Structure 1
Amino acid sequence: MKRIQLTSLSSLFFLSVLLAACSQSSTSEKSADGEGKKLVVGVTMLSMQNEFIVNVHDAMVKKAEADGVELITVDAERSALKQVEQVESFIAQKVDAIIMNPCEVEASSPAVTKALAAKIPIINVNSETSAKPTAFVGSDDVESARIAMKYIAEKLGGKGNVLMMHGYMGQAAQIKREQGAREILKQYPNLKLLAHQTGEWDRAKGMSLMENWIQSYGSQINAVFAQNDEMGLGAVKALTDAGLKDKVIVVSIDAIPDGLQAVKKGTLDATVFQNAEEQGSKAVETAVKAAKGQAYGKETLIPFQLVTKENLTKFLK
């Protein structure tokens, strides 16, 4: 009797093992077919030394974690050549989609062409390339500069001398922000552009550039338009050290936390809010939809907003 019972139990055991093996095999096949597989998205960022770019990436990470997506992030360190190589690596890894924060309009374009040739969707975030990607998520940089320069023009009563700090030359944001600024300058013939030069989106370089301009132009300077907050804050420091800040209007773009605090203190006259969180989140959302073959927007433009002391509380976290 005992022997028969043991044999029955043994049979049940082997039957359960067999069923488990079949189930595991079925799951593996399902995963291989692409169902239930975790999507992998390759991400190449312009520079992880830039606070705004880091904020965009942080939003990507948050969205990816919420959606169960794996991100592989690399830093292009402002090199378009390196960025193209990084995209080539993503293609070799057979990622499901690529998000690129382009270093340059032209030099980063081969990355787009290569990804599309490999039939991998590629989404440009924050900045553009001449080669058209699967989709673009960002903001209208021309509009951001129009907002900033219009504020300067109104504050100066349409008359005075302005300096402009460019971002990294050849990048879409730099090109378009210069375009927007010049559009407004044309509308105010009594506003003179004294000088313009790159500070490469960098605070220390912005400060050094401003120190040089103070040496060259001194009390002639009425306003500074910096194409991002990092350079704007560098300009504020140089002007403060020279005892000129109270006489010079400084406006920049991005509304990073340091920029908002400077507006609160009154050292930065205004900044233009660019929504890093929305850009990062929408980039991942678009990449996932494109990878799954779902409907997605070819272009997602998130509006800029002027930030001054009057509406600052709306943007402080």
Structure 2
Amino acid sequence: MKKSKIISLVIVLALCFAIAGCGASNTEAEATPAPEAASAAETSEKETVNVTVLMPNAGDTYFQNKSYGYTLGEQLANSEFPQLDVVVKMYDAGGYEYAERQISQMEDAITQGVDVIILTPCDSEALVPYVEKAMDAGIIVINDDIAVNCDCTSAIYENSVRAGKLLAYRMAESMGYEGNVCLLKGPSSGSLFVNRGQGVVEGLSAFSGITVLDEQFQTDDVMAGMSQVEDWIQRFGDDLDAIYIHGATQAIVAADSLKAAGYEPGDVKIFTFDVSAESLQYLQDGWLTGIVPAQPIKVSQNAVVYGVRAYMGQEVPAKVYSSDDYPILSDEAEFFDTGFCMAPDGWSPKLN
């Protein structure tokens, strides 16, 4: 009888411990939230900052490189402001001649009430009323690369006149300070191209032995550029010593035109702006003589960061000049760091 009582007591105690253990386990589970739930809560607490990027010609390799910079800027802004969810969306006008399309894109951004607009205008004057409209609506406007002819929250671009002069000096040096040149200056609607061309003309004017045979503004259409270069080859022949081309894509087309006409690398020296993988190869092969690299990736990532900082109430500079405006020559190409100039191989922008 005593033995059976002891057994019963042991069983009761075992059940009590089991129940207590289950209770402790349940209490601990309720006190520790699931990692997924915590992550979702953190995301829901972040403030979304919508950044709209408006480009004139995203198909150009220069703007493809800039597009990579915008994505880096998005990452940097999210890292600098972890309480924000910065979202960058990029739009393409399709060419400098399509200012009306870009105006429509900007009006859409204003209507949607985006927080930041980063604008590289198709036309420096035509976009002015819409920049002012966006600013009046309280939207941060960052003028990127090509100047728009009015005040913005901040502007970041190259000193194009200075860059053009430096290109002209190196071109003159490569020609022995004498010879004949032609200038293809790019779209007349973009202040960047106008100012680059102005710098080239002013720079070359310092050398009495150099004659400008012809200078033309031209759209960014590669076929129109090819036609112009072929016309110069026919008109001037061996009297043509050098060509200035406003951008690398057009410069490659010019080199191909010379190659098709039987010229050898360096027979006609070509100087241009903006590095791409293909233009860098043409430079190393001697078909291009000099390139001003510019810094499309650095400029565009900074444009995003400045925009978000301004949105957060921080002071940003009214104007910033990029610094890499000194031309690199063929024999310097292999030593040039392309980190701020070229997107990784295979990268392509995601446009909206």
Q: Is 1:129 equivalent to 2:154 in the alignment?
A: no
**Superposed, which structure 2 residues align to 1:191-206 within 5 Å?**
191-206=210-225
Name the amino acid aligned to 1:270.
G
**Superposed, which structure 2 residues align to 1:128-167 within 5 Å?**
128-167=147-186
Which 10-residue stretch deviates more, 295-304 or 240-249? 240-249
Report Cα offsets for 1:247-304 as digits up to 9, x if no partner: 2111111122211111111111111111111011101001101111112122121112
Q: Aligned to 2:132, what secondary structure does the other structure show?
A: helix
Report Cα offsets for 1:116-150 as digits up to 9, x if no partner: 11111100111111111111112111122112111
Q: Aligned to 2:205, what secondary structure does the other structure show?
A: helix
Map of 1:20 onto structure 2: none
**Residue pair 1:145, 1:227 contacting (<8 A) in 2 also:** no
The offset of 1:109, in angstroms, is 1.5
The offset of 1:202, in angstroms, is 4.1
The offset of 1:316, in angstroms, is 4.9
Map of 1:276 onto structure 2: 296
Name the amino acid aligned to 2:237.
G
Map of 1:4 onto structure 2: none
Map of 1:309 onto structure 2: 330
Aligned residues: 294
Aligned equivalents of 1:309 and 1:284: distance in 2? 33
Q: Aligned to 1:92, what secondary structure does the other structure show?
A: helix
Q: CA separation of 1:256/1:202 partners in 2, compared to 1, >3 Å: closer, same or farther?
A: farther
**Residue pair 2:188, 2:218 contacting (<8 A) in 1 also:** no
Aligned equivalents of 2:309 and 2:233: distance in 1? 50
Aligned equivalents of 2:129 and 2:65: distance in 1? 26
Q: CA separation of 1:177/1:155 partners in 2, compared to 1, >3 Å: closer, same or farther?
A: same
Q: Is 1:46 equivalent to 2:56 in the alignment?
A: yes
Give 1:186's match in structure 2, choosing from 205, 212, 221: 205
Which 10-residue stretch deviates more, 79-88 or 173-182? 79-88
User: Which residues of structure 2 form unaligned runs of 5+?
Assistant: 1-22, 31-36, 79-84, 340-352
Give 2:89's match in structure 1, choosing from 39, 47, 72: 72
Which 10-residue stretch deviates more, 227-236 or 281-290? 227-236
| Same amino acid, percent of matched pairs | 25
Report Cα offsets for 1:172-201 as digits up to 9, x if no partner: 111101110111122112211111123423
Aligned equivalents of 1:309 and 1:189: distance in 2? 26
Name the amino acid aligned to 1:69.
V
**Superposed, which structure 2 residues align to 1:1-317 within 5 Å?**
36-66=46-76, 67=78, 68-77=85-94, 78=96, 79-245=98-264, 246-303=266-323, 304-312=325-333, 313-316=335-338
Aligned equivalents of 1:299 and 1:316: distance in 2? 24
Report Cα offsets for 1:198-252 as digits up to 9, x if no partner: 3423443322211111111111101001111111111111111112344211111
Name the amino acid aligned to 1:88.
E
**Residue pair 1:251, 1:269 contacting (<8 A) in 2 also:** yes
Aligned equivalents of 2:130 and 2:282: distance in 1? 38
Aligned equivalents of 2:162 and 2:276: distance in 1? 18
Q: CA RMSD in A?
A: 2.4
**Residue pair 2:73, 2:303 contacting (<8 A) in 1 also:** no
The offset of 1:56, in angstroms, is 0.6
**Residue pair 1:203, 1:233 contacting (<8 A) in 2 also:** no
Q: Aligned to 1:247, what secondary structure does the other structure show?
A: coil
User: Which residues of structure 1 form unaligned runs of 5+?
Assistant: 1-8, 17-22
**Residue pair 2:55, 2:90 contacting (<8 A) in 1 also:** yes
Q: TM-score, normalised by structure 1?
A: 0.86
The offset of 1:107, in angstroms, is 1.1
